[in-house]
Amino acid sequence: MTVYLNGSFVEKRAARISPDDRGFLFADGVYEVIRWYDGRLFEAEAHLDRLRDGLSKMRIACDAAGELPRIGEELLRRNGAPPDRMKLYVQITRGAARRTHAFPAPGTPPTVYAEVAPIDTSPEELEHGVDAITTADQRWARCDIKSTSLLANVLANQAALEAGACEAIMLKEGVVTEASHSSVFAVTDGEVRTAPLSNLILAGITRKVVLELCDELRLAVREFPLTESELRSADEVFLAGTSCEVMPVVRLDGRPIADGRPGAVTRRLGQAFTKRIGTG
């Protein structure tokens, strides 16, 4: 497999990153995941803007974002990968320097890495929905940054898998923030609800698209904190993310949501999303 590292396309097994890299030492980096549909990177500009925003908030000087679509195309080509059901993973760290907490000397080049990988969400899950668990949100106070520092997300997702579920919905002080790697929506009495943007959640690109689709479908929608009890008594719950698209959640902590089947609003949004991906 060919990957991209610091300006070169190399075999993955030959790619070398320094043990002094701040991504390795401190998780001092950001990442982005963008998906291809029919050979087009979906919402590329929104993803690249979020990456630029994260770099700026982390004060990492790197202007590689604009080149990533071209790098992604080249990775697809070199790997002979189909231009669908594939994603571009990008990670940019503060570079390599002797270990000390403070930033390295100005001019230390960032590390820029990219690879392509297949999407593993199955059509069956999208059709029938998945199980989720709830868990405490133990993350830091800058979840708006798509940082590679994901330990709390990793532990939450592992707890979900060990409980036979596929995603962990996180609760902070009694309200839903988001899930370990997706945004969370609930539907009650026809109204679609999701957490408002803040430092406590990532500004999901799929979340943004779903809100646009709600507008197009004239669905009532509110970006307002959702309490744990509102989540548990919701008519429908779904996840939104680059990999999981619009994914119905049919059981929460082992108990069915409503009748335990994907709800009508979720289905409508899922269909609208499928139409949308055809148009970029």
Q: Which residues bind ligand PLP (CB under 6 A)?
A: 33, 153, 178, 181-183, 202, 204-207, 240-242
At 138, the amino acid letter reads Q
Q: Which is nearer to ligand PLP, 93 or 183 (CB)?
A: 183
Our CB check for ligand PLP shows the closer of 78 and 208 to be 208
- 87 flagged as catalytic: no
Query: Is 186 in contact with 193 (CB distance < 8 Å)?
Result: yes
Q: How far is the CB of 182 from ligand PLP (least distance, A)?
A: 5
Least separation, in Å, of the C-beta of 244 and ligand PLP? Answer: 8
Q: Given phi > 0 = left and psi -120 to 50 = alpha, else beta, which region is 23?
A: alpha
CB nearer ligand PLP, residue 219 or residue 240 = 240
Planar angle of CA 186, 216, 262, nearest 5 degrees? 35
Neighbours of 80 (CB within 10 A): 7
Q: What is the dihedral of CA 55, 173, 184, 194, to 10 degrees?
A: -90
Distance in Å, CB of 264 to ligand PLP, minimum: 23
How far apart (Å, rounded) are the C-alpha atoms in residues 84 and 69?
Answer: 15
| Cα(54)–Cα(133) distance, integer angstroms | 29
Catalytic residue among 146, 172, 208, 275: 146
Nearer to ligand PLP, 112 or 200 (CB): 200
User: Which letter, b or e, does each residue of 51-69 get, where b requires 16 or more Cβ atoms within 10 Å of its Cβ?
Assistant: bbbbbeebebebebbeebb
Specify burial of residue 209 (Cβ count, 10 A radius: 0-12, 13-18, 19+): buried
Listed residue (227, 226, 231, 214) closest to 268, CA to CA? 214
96 versus 201: smaller Cβ distance to ligand PLP: 201
Least distance to ligand PLP, CB of residue 211, Å: 11
On whether the CB atoms of residues 68 and 83 are closer than 8 A, the answer is: no
Q: CB of 72: closest distance to ligand PLP in angstroms? A: 16
Between 115 and 178, CB nearer to ligand PLP: 178
Catalogue the E-assigned strands of 147-235: 167-172, 175-179, 183-188, 191-194, 221-223
> How far apart (Å, rounded) are the C-alpha atoms in residues 26 and 98?
12
Q: Cβ 62 to ligand PLP, closest distance in Å?
A: 20
Residues belonging to the active site: 146
